[in-house]
Amino acid sequence: MDKIISVVLVGAGNRANVYASVSLEYPEKMKVVGIVDPDPVRRELMRERYNVSLENCFEDVSEFVKREKFADAVINGTMDHLHVPTSIPILEKGYDMLLEKPFAVNEKEMNELVEVARKHNNKVVIGHVLRYTDFYRAIKNIVLSGEIGKIISIETCEHVSYHHMAASYVRGKWSSEKICFAPMLLAKSCHDVDIMLWMMKETEPTHVASFGSDFQFGKERKPEGAGSRCMQNCPYVDECIFSAKSNYLAYPRWGQYVWKCLEANKNLTIEQQEESLKTDNRYGKCVWDFERDGNVDHQALVFNFANGATGTFSMVGGCAKPERNIHIVGTRGEIKGTFDDSRFVVRKMTPADSVLGYEERVYDLNVHGDMIGAAGGHGGGDEKLVYDFLDYLNGNEPSVSCATLEDSVISHRAVFKAMQSKHSGEIVKI
């Protein structure tokens, strides 16, 4: 019988909380026994939520690792640039780890972390949650079956909604590399690059070319007469698509970020929210007044693979509808679908049996009411990732979806090289 896996949360933010929530629904699988976070409000909120003793709550990792090892694993949900410096002493202490993506913000840090994990033989799984969704898992199984033959080309794209773009990548924690040390391609779309390379696992990428820019934001594009804060002095407050009033009050979105500064108030009122947006809340500031530091709002990548196949990925921030699309063309058929609709088709070449020359089979994962987009975070992938991590720690073989640290190195290196290409304007060897 599998044992209950005990975990410590390092970085008591939204991602760690999402993963840790599995322990509330399935206490026979996982138990949170420790909290590490410098923010006393977050630390106390998580301590109460998971019923953790005070003696197992710490302000920082250095304090935590002074204690003898008292749990099986750590869920590391710190900010991107803190992943490696917080993970290394924890791995050296002997903990296994579920580490949020991106697990490193540059190649040097990536190599350092891999070396430490190899030395101490830690089990490290990276939070590539899309691998665990029914949508991508079903497509992967068809690819593995050989039904569409050898992959010639794979095209993927991610359309980031205008309100997500503004909340996370302009007003939010990932607005500038000076703040988070991770470009948008790494912070947002290492998911998607990982999916592409996971589908192409029988070969490896050899070269990449990439282009991108910030097309929409920056002070030079600010509308004439716009104010500094949406709800304080801006005449466009009721018409601007990025208005804090419409996005965070009238139609509340991204509350886990917008109201973090007020989370100590357990009975938060609309008046307090309005006052916050009018005064010191960064989410109330004009979207065109943020320093972008060269960050992009759209970027395109082209890959060449060792076996001669090609792949493309396009990230576009500022779309009306958030959407991920995939189109895989093989020597005997193709797969084409949209993740957010939980629907894809498989087309097989049938020259002798069809007027069209192909037959089409539709996979609609909503048919039985199991709407993938509503099945928890990231289409249900968050929870399934945790279940798989716990299963792995219990000594079972990693599943086909499991993104170990070694697996994730390939996609991270591809992103780092894509950024090098974007900056240099040259095709870069991976």
Four-CA torsion 217, 223, 226, 230, nearest 10 degrees: -40
| Positive/negative CA dihedral, 214, 216, 220, 222 | negative
Distance CA 393, CA 83 (A): 20
379-404 exposure pattern, b = at least 16 Cβ within 10 A, e = fewer: bbbbbbbbebbbbbbeeeeeeebbbe
Domains and CATH numbers, the chain: 5-122 (3.40.50.720), 130-218+293-374+405-429 (3.30.360.10), 224-289 (no CATH)
Q: What pLDDT, on the 0 to 100 scale, is given for residue 1?
A: 74
Report the distance separating Cα 225 and Cα 236, nearest Å. Answer: 9
Q: What does the alpha-carbon distance between residue 169 and residue 292 come to, in Å, rounded to a whole number?
A: 9
Per the rule left: phi > 0, alpha: psi between -120 and 50, beta: everything else, 142 is alpha
Query: pLDDT of the chain along its 430 residues, tens only?
Result: 799 999 999 999 889 999 999 999 999 999 999 999 999 999 999 999 999 999 999 999 999 999 999 999 999 999 999 999 999 999 999 999 999 999 999 999 999 999 999 999 999 999 999 999 999 999 999 999 999 999 999 999 999 999 999 999 999 988 888 887 889 999 999 999 999 999 999 999 999 999 999 999 999 999 999 999 999 999 999 999 999 999 999 999 999 899 999 988 888 999 999 999 999 999 999 999 998 887 899 999 999 999 999 999 999 999 999 999 999 999 999 999 999 999 999 999 999 877 889 999 999 987 444 433 333 456 678 999 999 999 999 999 889 999 999 999 999 999 999 999 999 999 999 9
3-state SS of the chain is: CCCCEEEEEECCCHHHHHHHCHHHHCCCCEEEEEEECCCHHHHHHHHHHHCCCHHHEECCHHHHCCCCCCCCEEEECCCHHHHHHHHHHHHHCCCEEEECCCCCCCHHHHHHHHHHHHHHCCCEEECCHHHHCHHHHHHHHHHHHCCCCCEEEEEEEEEEEHHHHHHHHCCCCCCCHHHHCCCHHHHHHHHHHHHHHHHCCCCCEEEEEEEEECCCCCHHHCCCCCCCEHHHHCCCCCCCCCCHHHHHHHCCCCHHHHCHHHCCCCCCCHHHHHHHHHCCCHHHECHHHCCCCCCCCEEEEEEEECCCCEEEEEEEEEECCCEEEEEEEECCEEEEEEHHHCEEEEEEECCCCCCCCEEEEEEECCCCCCCHHHCCHHHHHHHHHHHHHHHHHCCCCCCCCCCEHHHHHHHHHHHHHHHHHHHHCCCEEC
The confidence score (pLDDT) of residue 263 equals 84
pTM of the model: 0.91
pLDDT at residue 377 in the model: 57
| pLDDT at residue 376, rounded to an integer | 46
Beta-strand relationship, 343-349 and 428-429: unpaired
